[in-house]
Chain A
Amino acid sequence: MDSSIRWFWFASPQTFFPLAGTIARWCAAGAALLAVAGLYVGLVVAPTDAQQGEVYRIIFIHVPAAWMSMFIYLVMAGWAAVGLAFNTRLSFMLAQALAPTGALFTFIALWTGSLWGRPTWGTYWVWDARLTSELILLFLYLGFMALHAAIDEPRRADRASALLAIVGAVNVPIIYYSVQWWNTLHQGASVSITRAPSMAAIMLTGMLLMALAFWLYSIAAVLVRVRCMIRERV
């Protein structure tokens, strides 16, 4: 390996610990700023929607949370794969630290979705393809955390849950498409969450700001959790 670049320098928990603290602080500050800006754009600046009225404003929480929920699962599976491949403890810790944040965003996406569904569709829950696959994603997160919690020995817990995360990641697309197909079989397009394609630029700005805020929040929360794990284990 090239000696000028030390690829695994920060793979050691000891060297990563102070770096994680610094990054977490900056990300937390950035997340707070962006969230304030995003909420301001979303709740004050953005105009009222012509069809849905004020209710639509939940989109600024709902959609970024749904993005994060899916993205974090992939990142988690990625770190799990890195951990299994290189046998680095820190990768397993990152995967483990990502799970609660991912589950939280999945839950927020479901919760805000049902609050949004009540006034617009007239019901808290429909067995829509996206809702259903999001629910199953939540189950996958909970299974990952439950497996890790059930095994006392840290090494086995890390590796077993890493394998489960990878198996889950392979299955996510299959589950997603089968659920979508099942839904179109049963009830057709009675309710569709596809929004108007032309979204006002200001709404998009608000959503992107919130998405960035959620990103930074996730990074900060995960790194703080990793620091706790390092303290606990090393």
Chain B
Amino acid sequence: MLAVARAVVRRDLLLALRRRSDVATALLFFVIVASLFPLGVGAEPNLLRSIAPGVIWVAALLSSMLSLGRLFAADHADGTLEQMLLGAAPLGVVVSAKSLAHWLVSGLPLVAIAPFIALQYDLAPGLYGVLALSLLLGTPVLSLIGAIGAALTLGLRGGGVLLALLVLPLYVPVLILGAGAVEMAGAGLGPEGQLLLLGALLVLAAAFSPWAIAAALRISME
């Protein structure tokens, strides 16, 4: 089972490596969205400092969602997905591995870029660690929940906009806890509560969403 998971992750990462521009586009989107906010709300440092966690988290949400469409689309188009459904390997393991690969490509780089955005927003340097940790715990949840939506909207016309409508309301708890952790730390209170709850969400999502993703794929491919 682990061998299957490793093979799927390796394959998806290799595919992402071959199409680097796709990955770069989502990251660039993250940076651009985050850079638009100061232009909209003004460059007042205190204001920017207070909205920084929320803006970075919202941008992360959108950028992670934007790349969800690719999660199953290419495999669906060339028939690989059908083989995965028919194959002997448990579908739950395969979709978990695909979600993990999606996170490695679209979530993990955000953790690395976020401190630079935080720098632009003049966030206190002591908060960088909390911000990175909250993204590290929260973005995998986004990939897992998002994969359910991606599987449900597989092959539909207007799938992208529909996906946003389905998935964004479900992202709300992650946004609240992730941005809340940084704000708590900024207010001098401990961010442990939020981070622990984010960890709990991650465990829940990792335990249950593979089932839902697998069921959704079977429904969509029927």
Chain A interface (Cβ < 8 Å from any Cβ of B): 136, 139-140, 142-143, 146-147, 150-151, 155-156, 159-160, 163-164, 166-168, 170-171, 174-175, 178-179, 181-182, 185
Q: Is B220 an interface residue (CB 8 A)?
A: yes
Is there an interface contact between B177 and A178, defined as CB atoms closer than 8 Å? Answer: yes
With A136-B169, A143-B169, A160-B216 already in contact, the answer to whether A182 and B222 are too (CB < 8 A) is no
Q: Which of B166, B173, B219 contacts A143 (CB 8 A)?
A: B166
Is there an interface contact between B219 and A185, defined as CB atoms closer than 8 Å? Answer: no
Q: Which of B153, B156, B162, B219 contacts A159 (CB 8 A)?
A: B219
Is there an interface contact between A150 and B153, defined as CB atoms closer than 8 Å? Answer: yes
With A150-B158, A156-B219, A156-B222 already in contact, the answer to whether A142 and B165 are too (CB < 8 A) is yes
Is there an interface contact between A139 and B169, defined as CB atoms closer than 8 Å? Answer: yes
- Bound together, the chains give a CA A148 to CA B208 distance in angstroms of 23
Pull 17 A–B residue pairs with CB atoms less than 8 Å apart, ordered by A.
Answer: A147-B162, A147-B166, A150-B156, A150-B158, A156-B220, A156-B222, A160-B216, A160-B219, A163-B215, A164-B166, A167-B212, A170-B208, A171-B170, A174-B173, A175-B172, A175-B173, A182-B176
Is there an interface contact between B165 and A146, defined as CB atoms closer than 8 Å? Answer: yes
Which residue of chain B lies nearest to A181 when distances are taken between CB atoms in the complex? B176
Q: Is B152 an interface residue (CB 8 A)?
A: yes
- Bound together, the chains give a CA A162 to CA B157 distance in angstroms of 20
Is there an interface contact between A147 and B216, defined as CB atoms closer than 8 Å? Answer: no
Is there an interface contact between A163 and B201, defined as CB atoms closer than 8 Å? Answer: no
**Which chain B residues in 133-164 approach chain A with CB under 8 Å?**
148, 152-153, 156-159, 162
- Bound together, the chains give a CA A194 to CA B173 distance in angstroms of 23
Q: Is B23 an interface residue (CB 8 A)?
A: no
Is there an interface contact between A175 and B169, defined as CB atoms closer than 8 Å? Answer: yes
Pick the 6 closest A-B CB pairs, nearest first: A178-B173, A139-B169, A182-B176, A159-B219, A143-B166, A178-B176
With A174-B173, A178-B176, A182-B176 already in contact, the answer to whether A163 and B162 are too (CB < 8 A) is no
* Nearest chain A CB to B87 CB, angstrom units: 22
Q: A139 contacts which chain B residues (CB < 8 A)? A: 165, 168-169
* Nearest chain B CB to A209 CB, angstrom units: 33
- Bound together, the chains give a CA A160 to CA B168 distance in angstroms of 17
Is there an interface contact between B201 and A174, defined as CB atoms closer than 8 Å? Answer: yes
* Nearest chain B CB to A28 CB, angstrom units: 32
Q: Is B210 an interface residue (CB 8 A)?
A: no
With A143-B169, A163-B212 already in contact, the answer to whether A150 and B162 are too (CB < 8 A) is yes
Is there an interface contact between B153 and A147, defined as CB atoms closer than 8 Å? Answer: yes
* Nearest chain B CB to A128 CB, angstrom units: 14
Which residue of chain A lies nearest to B219 when distances are taken between CB atoms in the complex? A159
* Nearest chain B CB to A100 CB, angstrom units: 16
Q: Is B184 an interface residue (CB 8 A)?
A: yes
Q: B219 contacts which chain A residues (CB < 8 A)? A: 156, 159-160, 163
Q: Is B12 an interface residue (CB 8 A)?
A: no
